[in-house]
Amino acid sequence: MSSTRVVIITGDLVEQKVDAIVNAANNDLMLGGGVAGAIRRAGGPAIQDECDAHGPVKVGEAAITGAGALHARYVLHAASMTLGGRTTRESLGSSMDHVFRLARQHDVDTIAVPAVGTGIAGFPIDECGRVMAESLHSALSEGWQPTEVRFVLFGEDAKTPFEAAFWHGFAQFQGPVR
């Protein structure tokens, strides 16, 4: 495995200075509320325009666009649900596997990831942490070697279950960036 630094922090996803930011997306790639809405507001209309040009993806897949005015090069859209639908363990795992493959293909060295599916899509935060840990472990095992994977969570109540999921399976987990 690589010397990838895995960090878990609370903060504002759209303020992260990284190569790519992950969006908690629906398969229509419509940037409505929650994480997607914050990305749309901070990044400007160019991101939605690229999503519209890309068209829908299947639930469990991902798409890549530019990042508009964000401090990133790319937005990786993890389509873990249909518009107005729910995220499942399978759809989250598959969409994050696709995200990490796209990140590898596009030489993403630093990436910021929210708790995909835990907002309006209703997925439990503790299970989200476990799925994220599994998907990242798989991507690193397959040869992706980013410098840093930063999980950016909304509050301490989300951070604790993520830390627990990563402490159980990641020797390179290094705790929060200060």
For domain 5-167, the CATH architecture is: 3-Layer(aba) Sandwich (3.40)
Of 23, 36, 26, 44, residue with least CA distance to 99 = 23
State both tokens at 169.
Answer: 């399976």
Domain ranges of the chain: 5-167
CA dihedral 155, 160, 161, 165 (to 10 degrees): 130
d(CA 108, CA 124) in angstroms, rounded, equals 28
Helix orientation angle between 45-54 and 34-43, rounded to the nearest 10 degrees: 120
User: Are 126 and 159 contacting, i.e. CB atoms less than 8 angstroms apart?
Assistant: no
Q: What is the pLDDT along the chain (178 residues), one digit of tens a residue?
A: 458 999 999 999 999 999 999 999 999 999 998 999 999 999 999 999 999 999 899 999 999 999 999 999 999 999 999 998 999 999 999 999 999 999 999 999 999 999 999 998 899 999 999 999 999 999 999 999 999 999 999 888 899 999 998 887 655 555 544 3
